[in-house]
Structure 1
Amino acid sequence: MTDDADDHGSFDERPSKSERKRRSDDLQALGEALIELSDSELDALPLPEQLRDAVLLARKITAHGGLYRQKQYIGKLMRKIDAEPIRAALEARRDRERVEAIRFHRVEQWRDRLLREGPEGVAAFRTEFPQIDSTAVGKLTERARKEQQTSKEKVTPAGRELFRLLRDALSRAP
């Protein structure tokens, strides 16, 4: 006779102990991520008052053992609530940070290209972003290139100003 207990539903459908442990660890890590959020980000999340208080207390604890126990407590509280809205909010935050990092690198790349190529870089910039005032970009690029030649610093005041101009212009660009 074969073991058909699964087909007849006589075995328990509960998750294994390992699966429960993985879920618990995941929820605790999610709870620990709440500790790192700013006050405004924490306030924006749909947290029960007890969990919010536990997170705020964890921020104040400096003793390693006490912080460990508080994190365990936060994990326990996390297991009692629906964590999906919190997970979604933290994922949205990570996505915004990724987009911001990509935007920052794009601005840096354009600034470096403009400083390296000069008028040719400005022409390429004008081609890619015709709606942006390339005259101001060109003047600032030349000023930054001149400062760069006479200064020992890698980034000069005009270079920082060029970065700000590009950041503002590219944030408005489609």
Structure 2
Amino acid sequence: MTLFENEDNNLLDEDDEIIYVSKSEIKRDAEALKKLGVELVQLSKNELEKIPLDDALSRAIELAQKIKKEGYRRQIQYIGKLLRSRDVEPITQALDKLKNRHNQQIALFHRIEKLRDDLISTGDAEAILTQYPLADRQQLRNLARLAKKEQEENKPNKSAKQIFQYLKELSEIE
């Protein structure tokens, strides 16, 4: 068994595998971490609290949120450098979870808008009542009738907004 030294003066066995990482791959990894840093900087304080960050990284992100122009670019590079020395898997998982929650919220709003539009066009509240059994049938019918009248008279959609708000509240209850 022969031992030899590598560039870092570490003793290596001939059987040890030396993993070669190209300069381009290192640059791609660094760029990906900078993009992750930009995503973190764009989050609100409430969202940042849900992501597992250490103190140094949190302070760097808060500072980047306050900085403009060239200083911002340098701060993003610094955040990328900090991320290189950390396990970013929990951070990316938390970020994906936040994004998914946002996507779920948008999908919910689209479903509510469709229910509202169907209610206004048909006047039938059955679809809503099957999905939200706590809904008040009479209130929905009154709001739908008012919304249809507002549409016909080209008035502002006050009742349609009230229906949407009511359905949104119902979805939060259940």
TM-score range for the pair, normalised by the shorter chain length: 0.7 to 0.9
List runs of 5+ in structure 1 lacking aligned partners: 1-7
Letter in 2 for 1:115: I
Q: Is the 8 A contact 2:64 2:75 kept in 1?
A: yes
CA distance in 2, matches of 1:10, 1:149: 79
Q: Give RMSD over aligned pairs.
A: 2.1
1:150 aligns with 2:156: no
Greater shift, 127-136 or 41-50, is seen at: 127-136
May I ask how many residue pairs the two structures share in their alignment? 161
1:53 Cα deviation (Å)? 1.3
Q: Which has the higher contact order (CA 8 A, sep 6+)?
A: 1
Which residue of 2 is the match for residue 50 of structure 1?
56
CA distance in 1, matches of 2:122, 2:15: 71
Structure-2-length-normalised TM-score: 0.82
Change over 3 Å in CA distance of 1:55–1:130 after alignment to 2 = closer
Q: Is the 8 A contact 2:115 2:127 kept in 1?
A: no
Aligned pairs for 1:1-174 within 5 A: 12-63=18-69, 65-118=70-123, 121-153=124-156, 156-173=157-174
More helix by share: 1
CA distance in 1, matches of 2:130, 2:16: 70
1:39 Cα deviation (Å)? 1.2
Q: Percent identity?
A: 37
Structure-1-length-normalised TM-score: 0.82
1:70 Cα deviation (Å)? 1.0
1:11 Cα deviation (Å)? 5.8
CA distance in 2, matches of 1:137, 1:170: 15
Change over 3 Å in CA distance of 1:48–1:124 after alignment to 2 = closer
SS in 1 for 2:38: helix
CA distance in 1, matches of 2:144, 2:76: 51
- Cα displacement string for residues 142-169 of structure 1 (whole angstroms, at most 9, x for unaligned residues): 121112222344xx11111111111122
SS in 2 for 1:132: coil
